[in-house]
Structure 1
């Protein structure tokens, strides 16, 4: 019997990649393309959805041609996507009314402030599990509808659709035949009722969004429609899984049971803890979302999101020019004076979980005359671990579950200094899988399982991991972490965590 393959599309903040997995779940080839980061003087961040769709088609062609496989052997595709990033498009032409507004962009703050002023902040949190914030999709969609003239007109004519990047890509890839999203992405829009499992009419009204503009919400491993990638394949194949990228990584890590936790290190980071089939609503700065819907049953997560983690390494590379590439950060961090107490708080667009302070600004403190390039690089690397530690500690408190291990993934996990420091600050083992691309691999696993190609148990039993164990002394750990908390306190504009 000929080999069979699963294709994964991982549409992330910085680019779009295609992964090709064989019948054993091994990644045999990958291709990726970056897309332009459109950032203006206000710090507003956008992407061109058309560029992203075109890149999706290109990376599929690239990965198949690099792997030199028979295109007919690809039996299905899974999609993972940058979450919260929102698009509004014309349902007839499938053309966007405006650029995609990226999750990092806080332009919807005034909209959220008005909703809070009207006394509806708690209602939004109670229904959606999410702290009222411009971070999520609702305020971004609302901003387009209120500020783009063509959108105002078409909205009245009911010609618009809106959603996250997955629903836009599914719509384009199926030539407008399927307008669907999954539970994981829906739960991150701030428009979805995570208890009733449907779009919430009252919350949609608060953001002035017509509920009919939103996609059908499906299980994450359902058939979302079929595509031939703009005619590249000779026959259409099913899109048989869709996950928000962090949810795909949670699935790919095998965190299928209550109490398991993972951190995805990307441009930003998502820390996610499986809390089972019933929601736990946080009072300490993390949010409640849906992990996924599989086989007709949903699972919930506690989650904390950080705006700038891997992006900090890009900043010290491209803007400060302290190093030539993010990969050099490990060497400089190791060479730095380990007693240097410089802290970097990367609140470039405010602080996300667990602080939720969109007015906070970046800050460097604790420098001395001997602080140099290496020490600044070390501070940049360590701020990633500190931010993740903030969230892991809150999750343990909120869930009342002792966390014994952190599973991690994403490009920055290659940095051994960062991984060891993460283990030291949390005082628990950190497990790094041999497969780096867990977001894309996770959605490919789900598609392959749904299509009968993979056995779920065997997939995760075969995964190899590198383990980092704590080495830092307890008193030093406490001193370092307390220093971080003091540094964060210097930039907060709110009296307490929301």
Structure 2
């Protein structure tokens, strides 16, 4: 009987599942899409029950694939633990019976922007000192306040919702890295901050208990397709799981996730009061500097739709038919600009067009926009970067990865597997299971004990910078961004 961890990666647009053995081998995978609605400009919603059902469908597909259609046991696979990687900042509310109250407010949702702008400056200063973040509608606390204004509910990020359902609605728990994205979690005290709870009007009783990333989060109960009693071993936020899986542990190593939005992270040794996040909490905290981009993959999808193309793959093919965007610049500020600009009032623009502009130039500008936004963040990293390790669905595009290397002026290493977030949290889960089995008390800051990191055994697709016009292209981009900004730089 082969033992495996069932790793679930619940993202913005898809839920994925992978059965992963102790050496990092992926036995089987499954996925299912998750719907998103935008009922008003700047509003981004999902349905909590649909998120849960998408997880069930992804895990069922994965287990059936491992068993050749006959279920996990029939395929000779024993699921010894569950690992969760989840989208961050999005907020779910549910009542005492476990029923959702209202929509899931997605991390892209900007309905609370005006409310955030009206908060006293002292609140933003307190948030920075305690959490390393800044007040912005992307983070969870304003969304929690919005839901609580409409219902007496439990509130939590997506990890807490899935833990609640996986445990038969018995547990109200969250993982420390996810908690660090709420604006309510003190990164030095490693607990909910009473001052911040008061500032946002969030009752502590509505929030889940915070646990370290490898502390265990209960056991399965009444989950279709799974036996009761399987331990939920480890939980990480999806971007954090990607950094873990990419093996980015040294200064100068930067992880960029290319999803609906993008997360750019680099490890640091101590808490910093600006742009800091808690990547994971094992025997000690693992901090990272992070910048968040609101629209990257979403910008590619929008452009494909604008040009009447069937999907992003077709967009990439069209973009590759021209050597450059020929002066066309797309600034995809559809819900404002994230890091490092933090101007949620900015709006998208497509500039630099002429009578010779073609659909291919616009497609190429969309590809450039994703890479430029990554560069905007990496340009702010103290000491710069040595190598960027890329993951996420868009990394399958050689054009995008080469464009990124050209605009960075540094090599880009693209992950060789699409399930990097699932692999990252599965690796943490296996490290935890190994530690429990051997009764080891020696666990490194990555929680990996004596285990060789899986990233060290993998290969990467490497892209070296070759273009000579980086400075000009970066200047064109900077001018276009300045033109759409509302708040001063």
> What interval of TM-score do these two structures reach, taking the shorter chain for normalisation?
over 0.9
CA displacement, residues 454-478 of structure 1 (integer Å, 9 cap, x when unaligned) = 86315222111111011011xx110
Give the match for residue 17 of structure 1.
16
Give the match for residue 402 of structure 2.
420
CA displacement, residues 407-432 of structure 1 (integer Å, 9 cap, x when unaligned) = 01001001111100100111111001
Residue 464 (structure 2) pairs with residue 469 (structure 1): yes
Residue 130 (structure 2) pairs with residue 127 (structure 1): yes
Residue 78 (structure 2) pairs with residue 73 (structure 1): yes
Moved over 4 A (4+): none
TM-score, normalising length: structure 1: 0.91
SS of equivalent residue, structure 1 residue 241:
strand
SS of equivalent residue, structure 1 residue 227:
coil
1:198-209 correspondence runs (5 A): 198-209=191-202
User: Which of 468, 473, 480 is matched with 1:487 structurally?
Assistant: 480
SS of equivalent residue, structure 2 residue 462:
strand
User: Which of 290, 294, 297 is matched with 2:278 structurally?
Assistant: 290
Q: Distance in 1 between matches of 2:40 and 2:211?
A: 39
Q: Distance in 1 between matches of 2:453 and 2:192?
A: 36
1:45 and 1:102 in contact (8 A); partners too? yes
1:425 and 1:481 in contact (8 A); partners too? yes
* 1:494 to 1:162, Cα distance in 2 relative to 1, 3 A: same
1:35 and 1:52 in contact (8 A); partners too? yes
2:247 and 2:453 in contact (8 A); partners too? no
* 1:229 to 1:11, Cα distance in 2 relative to 1, 3 A: farther
Give 5+ residue unaligned stretches, structure 1. Answer: 155-159
- Matched residue count: 470
Q: Distance in 2 between matches of 1:103 and 1:93?
A: 25
Q: Distance in 2 between matches of 1:337 and 1:402?
A: 28
Give the match for residue 300 of structure 2.
313
Greater mean alpha carbon deviation, residues 184-193 or residues 71-80? 71-80
CA RMSD of aligned residues (A): 1.6
SS of equivalent residue, structure 2 residue 195:
helix
Greater mean alpha carbon deviation, residues 207-216 or residues 422-431? 207-216
1:322 and 1:373 in contact (8 A); partners too? no
Residue 361 (structure 2) pairs with residue 358 (structure 1): no
CA displacement, residues 425-454 of structure 1 (integer Å, 9 cap, x when unaligned) = 111110012112211111111111111298
Q: Distance in 1 between matches of 2:324 and 2:117?
A: 42
* 1:339 to 1:162, Cα distance in 2 relative to 1, 3 A: closer
Residue 353 (structure 2) pairs with residue 367 (structure 1): yes
Q: Distance in 2 between matches of 1:215 and 1:435?
A: 33
1:231-270 correspondence runs (5 A): 231-270=224-263
Greater mean alpha carbon deviation, residues 22-31 or residues 258-267? 22-31
1:210-221 correspondence runs (5 A): 210-221=203-214
TM-score, normalising length: structure 2: 0.93
1:14 and 1:34 in contact (8 A); partners too? yes
Q: Distance in 1 between matches of 2:313 and 2:137?
A: 32
Give the match for residue 443 of structure 2.
none
Q: Distance in 1 between matches of 2:227 and 2:48?
A: 25
User: Which of 425, 432, 442 is matched with 1:450 structurally?
Assistant: 432
Note the C-alpha offset of 1:65: 0.6
User: Which of 263, 267, 273 is matched with 1:281 structurally?
Assistant: 273
SS of equivalent residue, structure 1 residue 226:
coil
1:135-154 correspondence runs (5 A): 135-146=138-149, 148=150, 151=151, 154=152
Greater mean alpha carbon deviation, residues 408-417 or residues 41-50? 41-50
